[in-house]
Structure 1
Amino acid sequence: MRKNAVASDLRVLQFANLDAASDEAQSLLQSGYDRCGNWSLAQICRHLRLVQDPSIDAYPRWMTLFAFLRPVMRRTLLPRLLQGNSPIGIPTSPIFVPPAELDDADEVLLFTRSVDRFKSYQGKYAAHPGFGRMDRDALETLHATHAAHHLRFLKPHPRS
């Protein structure tokens, strides 16, 4: 396991939607994988859920403290993220950091259920803390891009 991955070590991943991200997580579970970063498949899937589920359940109130920065973030950071150009090595907010001891199969299943819940949700999505209110398609694109950013740190074992 490498703790300090560089971009050249990582896979190039891009998902059209969250179903593709869920499929990739399931594929990694089946094939096995090598880590190029700090997190296992289980930790990545837990992190993705922790960030994705508040789109329905609401983000912590303290995250709205910097809402005044949303217009700048939407213009500058959001396009970069959606192009798959996510920065590497920026610390994750502690509430979104998964514990170390998690089971891959359990967390892949829970991530898949979270994706299904997101896709079937009929209500109004919560405003994203950094980018504000987004429609369902834009939010799904953001979450799918976020999933690609993290899952690229796992290299599948070759199929025999």
Structure 2
Amino acid sequence: MINDLRELQFHHLEDAVAEVQSLLQTGYTQRGKWSLAQVCRHLTLVQDPGVDGYPLWLSLFAPLRPLMRRILLPRLLKGDSPQGIPTSPIFVPSGDLDDAKEAANFAASVTRYKAHPGPYAPHPGFGRLDPETLEKVYTTHAAHHLRFLEPCVEVS
């Protein structure tokens, strides 16, 4: 099933917001475990700590940062997200969410993130990143999750 997923790439977080809005307009077929609402909530939950700061317990991963920056970060930046790594429970969305509401929350999160004067909080896995690299991490993360939602296409 993974090979049948569409390929997505976003250059800016606003492009991910546009894709979310498009999926709201066309409808979608869910090819993974999460709905559009769940994907949007997850992206917001992961992205907001870049502005607000991450929970202190995530700093336990700091000793792994050099290894993760050397091995995992280049893969992520190329859009090659590893499969099968469980999501930390604090970033797993519930199943009773509304697509339109969570899409609006994600758009607001992107607006807030882009307006943040900095500095951004150190990423728990990669440490402090420059704004362009951090946005690339977030855009590839958004593309990874949104590719599991296939837009409905009208047959003419």
TM-score by length of 2: 0.97
Match of residue 58, structure 1, among 50, 53, 56 = 53
Residue 89 of structure 1: CA displacement?
Answer: 2.6
Match of residue 137, structure 1, among 126, 129, 132 = 132
Runs (4+) of structure 1 exceeding 6 A deviation are none
Corresponding position of 2:106: 111
Match status 1:123 vs 2:113: no
Distance 1:159 1:123 in 2: 43
Corresponding position of 2:42: 47
CA contact (8 A) 1:9 1:36 kept: no
Corresponding position of 2:32: 37
Distance 1:106 1:86 in 2: 27
Give CA-to-partner distance per residue, 1:118-153, whole Å, 9 cap, x none: 111102100000000011111111000000000000
Q: What secondary structure does 2:84 align onto?
A: coil
Unmatched 5+ residue regions in structure 2?
none
Distance 1:34 1:9 in 2: 13
TM-score by length of 1: 0.94
Corresponding position of 2:71: 76
Distance 2:55 2:17 in 1: 25
What is the aligned-residue identity percentage?
Answer: 62
Give CA-to-partner distance per residue, 1:31-64, whole Å, 9 cap, x none: 0000110000000000000000000000010000
Match of residue 9, structure 1, among 4, 7, 21 = 4
Aligned length: 155
Unmatched 5+ residue regions in structure 1?
1-5
- Aligned-residue CA RMSD (Å): 0.9
Residue 159 of structure 1: CA displacement?
Answer: 4.1
